Structure 1
Amino acid sequence: MLGGRNIGGRKRSSRQGASVTLAEVAELAEVSEITVSRILRNKGPVAEATRKRVMAAVEATGYVPNRLAGGLASAGSGLIGVIVPSLTNIVFPEVLRGIHAALDRSGLQPVVGVTGYDMEAEEHLVEALLAWKPQAMVIAGFDHTERTRRMLQASGVRIAEVMEIDSKPIDIAVGLSHRQAGFDTGRHLIERGYRRFGYVGHDWCADRRARLRYDGLAACLAEHGLGLVDEALFEGPSSTIAGRDMLARLLARQPDIDVVVFSNDDMATGGVFHCIAASIRLKEDVAIFGFNGLDIGQALPVPLSTIRSNRFLIGRTAIERILERHERPEGATIVDTGYEIVIGGTA
């Protein structure tokens, strides 16, 4: 809506899967297509009121200009846009390996952007990649700005939101239920006899999936008449140092906790290092449980007890599913790639 009008007298939802056109933006802003083009290319003088009206129409529709010229536009770019929050976290390079494996010999090339867990940075990357008219987009998670969501919905290309399946996707979601993984963590540890639970985690604002696992754990404990004795949260990204320091702080307050669930393996590995340095016997004095199933956790002197997510499979499956059909279907699709509990030796 802009000034009480729908695009072309109809709601955008009636054109599910179709890309917004320059003509629709012009119609909504009540100007010519040439005027819209000039404003978007910042070419020539234009009244400020007109510019604002056009930009409001662009914002409302999620329109992204086409950076491909002439005949190339009809042929497509041969690109797959991929946006992940980090490359330093080994989780996402493994997803990228799966993407590359699925694209092998397809003739398509991935173009990767990294957000640093910043949704505004993600918005700029989505706009930049969509301007090159990719064949599809793969993007980590469901957390987007409203403008990012509108651009993705209006693009008409296949969209795979990966790593989680706990919300409704724009097109297709590939990953696991993090809430259920947290619940299953609690159930597994209760079955092994643990009752006094602690939690060590990192910044939930930047990692919604860690919060979902925490919520699942809390729900499981409540179902069994239990709760967290105490928790220590680091106000920043996960790291081994943060895990080490937060566990030391937690145990200083609650030395009788018998098991600590960590937000991920990075943090849990730091917890193991603290126990080794402080001569705390793993599993006997305190048990430690992580998430992700990273190689570093299994290479510790005592292999980490954790949940292993299928990261390579997530990346490969996302590409395979979105390439099965060029047109975006009417309904959303969810693909659960599952996870497995790694018994390890720390819990």
Structure 2
Amino acid sequence: MVAQTCRKTSVSRPKQRPLTLRDVSEACGVSEMTVSRVLRNRGDVSAGTRERVLEAAKSLGYVPNQIAGSLASQRVNLVAVIIPSLSNMVFPEVLTGINEAFEHTPLQPVVGVTDYIPEKEERVLYEMLSWRPSGVIIAGLEHTDAARAMLKNAGIPVVEIMDTDGNPVDSMVGISHRRAGREMAKAILKQGYRRIGFMGTKMPLDHRARKRFEGFTEGLTREGVEIEDREFYSGGSALAKGREMTQAMLERSPDLDFLYYSNDMIGAGGLLWLLEQGIDVPGQIGLAGFNGVELLDGLPRRLATMDACRAEIGTAAAEIILERSGLPEDGPVPSPKLITLAPTIDFGDTLRRYGRG
């Protein structure tokens, strides 16, 4: 018997070259200049010729070189969207709002993720600005000095999103997280809760969670109430962390009558653990989170929360970019837009309402 061995074979293929205007020109029988006019939507071209060119380009699979085509203007039809996370369900909803606003326009969002690391944000911003985008949408108001300088000197519309507690480089769209924290504290105290614990992410890098916490403690302090217990986490499954932290906190501080979570996901974990223990929610202990995540609507009880206006923020930011990117470069610089949206509290089933148990 002759042993056989497998051999890896490869078939060489001729290297493919990128399609050019000439290929489209030859396919539809018009000049390269006419093809260029049609694909850039410039100049006076008859409807029949335009249809022929577009059909030829589509059948060939031709994609215009926007970088080369934008050398004169030094801009491409891309908008840099820089966010800290894709695993946090807040930001996909923001991206949905941005994408819907750009849907029938030449602009396309390109996403960069920073993982809440300031130095990574700086690197992502540097790389994305090197492509000369038509605008920047970036989460948060806190940046390194170098990142802030790049944003200031980019010469394009910049919209900082999610937060309005600070000084923007240009335009900003978001909510006041300090006010959101104060409003939640006010609602909790109004329902008679006084022994309060707080659980949230580690906050040196999550500035918006930090500001909500500051606003929350400020709202309690005004009424002579202090947080009795607190715990912070980083990384891992938020649901599992919520369960773990809730159990640990109530073992330490069994007399707490309210738990405020920095986000809905850990709040949902806490709610599930409490219900498993047979604890009366919201009678014995009330709960609230933040973000208004629709994914959690299937829980046995609807978690009290506050909507962060995510899709609206994305839409408004994109509309600012659209409005500003269409202005002539040598025209007057328009005033920045500062838009503060007002989130509302959803009492759900875990925060008593006045007159209800």
TM-aligned CA deviation for residue 85 of structure 1: 0.9
Match of 2:343 in 1: 339
For the residue of structure 2 that corresponds to 1:155, the secondary structure is coil
Post-superposition shift, 1:336?
1.1
Partner deviation per Cα, 1:300-323 (whole Å, 9 max, x = no partner):
111001111110100000011232
Q: 1:195 touches 1:226 (CA, 8 Å); kept in 2?
A: yes
SS of residue in 1 equivalent to 2:344: strand
Cα displacement string for residues 62-99 of structure 1 (whole angstroms, at most 9, x for unaligned residues)? xxxxx956852416211111111111111000000000
2:15 is matched with: none
Q: Distance in 2 between matches of 1:162 and 1:294?
A: 18
Superposition deviation, residue 134 in structure 1: 0.7
Match of 1:278 in 2: 277
Give the Cα separation in 2 of the matches to 1:333 and 1:188: 31
Uncovered stretches (5+) of structure 1, i.e. residues with no partner: 1-66
Structure 1 residue aligned with 2:115: 116
* 2:130 counterpart of 1:126: no
Question: TM (normalized to structure 1)?
Answer: 0.77
Q: Match of 2:62?
A: none
CA distance in 2, matches of 1:121, 1:101: 28
Aligned residue type for 1:72: L
Alpha-carbon distance between aligned partners in 2 of 1:304 and 1:224, rounded to the nearest angstrom:
25
* Pair 304,260 (structure 1): closer, same or farther in 2 beyond 3 Å: same
Superposition CA RMSD, Å: 1.8
Query: Are the aligned partners of 2:241 and 2:269 in contact in 1 as well (CA < 8 Å)?
Result: yes
Q: Which residue of 1 aligns with 2:239?
A: 240
CA contact (8 A) 1:232 1:249 kept: no
Q: Which amino acid aligns with 1:339?
A: P
Change in Cα spacing, 1:329 to 1:167, as seen in structure 2 (3 Å) is farther
Amino-acid identity (%): 38
Secondary structure in 2 matching 1:225: coil
Separation in 2, partners of 1:175, 1:71: 32
1:154-169 superposed matches below 5 A: 154-169=153-168
Consecutive unaligned residues in structure 2, runs of 5 or more: 1-65, 352-357
Distance in 1, matches of 2:113 and 2:227, equals 35
- Corresponding residue for 1:292? 291
Task: Tell me the secondary structure at the aligned position of residue 82 of structure 1.
Answer: strand
Show the counterpart of 1:311: 310
Contact 2:74 2:132 in 1 (8 A): no
* TM-score normalized by the length of structure 2: 0.75
- State the SS of the aligned residue for 1:111: strand
Structure 1 residues 152-192: Cα deviation after superposition (integer angstroms, max 9, x where no partner) = 11101100100010011101110100000000000011111
Does the CA contact (< 8 Å) of 2:138 and 2:160 recur in 1? yes
- Secondary structure of the residue aligned to 2:320 is helix
- The answer to which of 212-221 and 232-241 deviates more is 232-241
Change (3 A) 1:289 1:329: farther
The question of whether the paired residues in 2 share the 8 Å contact of 1:203 and 1:238 is answered with no
Alpha-carbon offset, residue 325 of structure 1:
2.3
In the alignment of these two chains, the number of paired residues is 281
Contact 2:184 2:216 survives alignment (8 Å): yes
Q: Describe the shift of the 1:194–1:108 C-alpha distance in structure 2 as closer, same or farther (beyond 3 A).
A: same
Judging changes above 3 Å, is the alpha-carbon distance between structure 1 residues 289 and 176 closer, same or farther for their aligned structure 2 residues?
same
Conserved? CA contact 2:136–2:156, under 8 Å: yes
**1:10-29 mapped onto 2 (5 Å cutoff):** none
Q: Distance in 2 between matches of 1:235 and 1:210?
A: 13
What is the CA-CA distance between 1:101 and the residue it aligns to? 0.5
Q: Secondary structure at the match of 1:123?
A: helix
3-state SS, counterpart of residue 203 of structure 2? coil
